[in-house]
Amino acid sequence: MRSPAPVSRYAARLGALAAAALALVAGCTVGTGAGGTGATTRTELERDTVVNLFQWNWKSVAAECPRLAKVGYAGVQVSPAQEHAQVVNNPWWVDYQPVSYQIASRRGDRAAYAAMVQACHAVGVKIYADAVINHMAGGDSGVGWAGSAWTHYDYPGIYQTQDFHHCGIAPNDDIADYQNRAQVQTCELVNLADLDTGSDYVRGRIAAYLNDLIALGVDGFRVDAVKHMSADDVAAIMGRLSKPVERYYEVIDKGGEPISMTEYTGSGKVLVFSYGDEVGSAFQWGKIATLRNLAGGVDGTVARVFLDNHDTQRHGGAQVLTHKQPRLYALANVFMLAWPYGEPTVMSSYSFTDPDAGPASTDQSGTTKDTACGSDAWECEHRWQSTEGMVGFHNVVKGTGVELWWEDPSGNSVAFARGDRGYVIVNNATSPLAGRSFQSRMPPGTYCDIVHGAVVDGKCTGPSVTVKADGWFTADVANLDALAIHVGAKL
C-alpha cells in the first residue's frame, strides 16, 4: 500500500476531478440497461461478474434481475437470509447476528425469498446467498426478527452452551491477538457467540441451513468470517451440501497474519482483499501502469476480486475507492472489468454518514424499503453506464490475455488489447489523450465506445471509433476518462 500523496498534488487531483466534463456515470439511474451487451453471443456459462446488491430487499432484487440479465451480470450476491437480532436504530450489522435459521429478516419472508430466486432464475441470473455460519448473536439476550427468544449461548431448538467455543485464552473470550491462530479461530469476534464448528452436531445444523437455501434454489454462497473457522471445519461443512454449488470465502488476508487464504482454496474460492487496496492506491496516489501485473495471493481461477465491499467502505482505509469518489471509482471499475485476474464483484451501495447506519426503512423495526435508485440514499453504482458497459466487455473478452500493452511516460494512462475481441484505454492523468492512435487486434470496422454508450437499433448511443484494416484506430480520451470497444459492439 502506498502512502498518501503530498497535499498539493492531492488537491490538484481533486480539482481535476471536479472539473472533468465528460461524466462516466451519466444516466446511471435512468438508462436502458443495454449498455454492456451489444450483440454479444457469449453464453451465460461464461459469465462470472456478480453484483452485491447490499441490503436490498427480496422484492427489489427480483425486480432488478431482468436489467442485470440484459447487461450481462452472472448473478447477485444478496444479504443474509436468516432471522437476525433486533438492535436499536437497526444498524446494517444486525444482519450478521443470526438468532435462528428461519428465512425471515427485514428484507422479506421465506415466500418472498423463494419468489426472488424464481424471478432471477427466469432471466438467467444466479443467486449467491451471504451465509453467516461462524457465529450467532453478540448481545446478552433478545427477541429476533421473527420472534425467536435467545440468549448469548442459548438458541432454543438449535444451540446451547455446549455448542459454542469458550476459548479461555483471551480476556472475556474475545479475540485480542490476530497473530494467535487459536484466538482467531476459537475466541469470539467482537463478542459474537462463536460456534464450535468442529462439532459434528454443529456442522450438521449449519449444513441443514445451507441445504435449505439450496432447496430454495440458491446457486452458491458468499461465506462470512471464514478465517475464524479452520479450513478443515469449513471443508467438512461444505462436504455435507446436498449438491455442489459455488462458494467464495471471506478470508481477510493482506499478509502478516498466521492464517492465509491459501488454506481454504481446497473447498472454494476466496475473496482477495488486497486487490482493492492495490487498485485504489494506484488510482489515487500512484501510477496505474504499476497494475500491469495485478494479481492477488492466489491463482486467478480461485480468486474473486472487488474494489470495495460493505466492510471496506466503512473501515477499509483511505486507499479504498468507493462511490464517494465517483470518477476515480468509475475508472477503477473499468480497469477491474477489463483485467483478466479473478472473477469480479461489483458493489451497489447506499450512502451514509454514520458507518453503522442501515438502509432506508419503512418502520421503526427496520423493514427495508423497496430500492428506488437515486432516492432514499440508494446509490446503485452498478447501473453507471461505464460499469454496465464493461460488464459486457468482460463477458466478450473472457478467456483472452492482455496484449499490446501501452503506457504514457507519466504512467497514468494505459491501454491494452484483450486478444482480438476487445481493447481498452484508461486515462487516469490530468491531461487528455488527444488524437492519439492505438494499435489493436480488432477486425476492421466501426465500434461503439461502451464506456459511454451502447448499440441500440444498429447505432451507437455514444461515441464510436473506426478500426482500420491493420488494427489501428485514432481516438480522443478525456482526462480521468476511459474508452473501450469489443466485437459485440461492432456496427
Report, as residue numbers or ranges, the catalytic residues: 224, 250
The residue to which cell 469449513 is assigned: 234
The CA distance from 180 to 259, in Å, is: 9
Decide if 9 contacts 16 (C-beta within 8 A).
Answer: no
Distances from the Cα of 367 to the Cαs of 41, 168, 349, in angstroms?
40, 38, 17
Is 411 exposed, middle or buried (CB count within 10 Å of its CB: 0-12, 13-18, 19+)? middle
Beta bridge partners of 155: 159
Nearest to 136 by CA among 118, 111, 163, 176: 163
> Which cell is 33 given?
440497461
The three-class DSSP label of residue 377 is: coil
Decide if 427 contacts 328 (C-beta within 8 A).
Answer: no
Is 46 exposed, middle or buried (CB count within 10 Å of its CB: 0-12, 13-18, 19+)? middle
Decide if 127 contacts 117 (C-beta within 8 A).
Answer: yes
> Which cell is 13 given?
487531483
Amino acid (one-letter) located at 472: W
Beta bridge partners of 220: 128, 246
Residues in Cβ contact with 110 at an 8 Å cutoff, skipping those fewer than 6 apart: 102, 103, 104, 216
The CA distance from 448 to 437, in Å, is: 17
